[in-house]
Amino acid sequence: MYELIFTDKAKKQFLKLEKQTQERIGSVLERIKLRPEHFVEKLIGELGYRLRVGDYRIILDIDKNRLIILILKVGHRKNVYDNL
């Protein structure tokens, strides 16, 4: 099973969200810990992957050797792709 690690920036973005949104994102992140490749899509032209949770997106990277999912950004779909 993969371990979830948030960057400092992603943790701040996550904690700014409403409690209900945090719970939805948290439950989806728990679900992807077994097989993340099944739930994420590769970003085109960028390094990393995206995970869709309603109107929110999670930008992440997967280290298959160390079984780590690194959460890079969390935000609304309108502005999460800015400054990747």
Average pLDDT over residues 45-69: 95
SS3 at position 50: strand
CB atoms closer than 10 angstroms to residue 49: 20
Q: First-to-last CA distance in the chain? A: 27
Average pLDDT over residues 46-54: 94
Instruction: Kindly state the tokens that stand for 55.
Output: 């109107």
What's the confidence (pLDDT) of residue 82?
86
Please tell me the distance from the alpha carbon of residue 27 to that of residue 53, in angstroms, as a whole number: 10
All structural domains of the chain, each given as residue ranges with its CATH number in brackets, are 3-76 (3.30.2310.20)
Gyration radius (Cα) of the chain, Å: 12
Q: Is the pTM of this model over 0.85?
A: yes
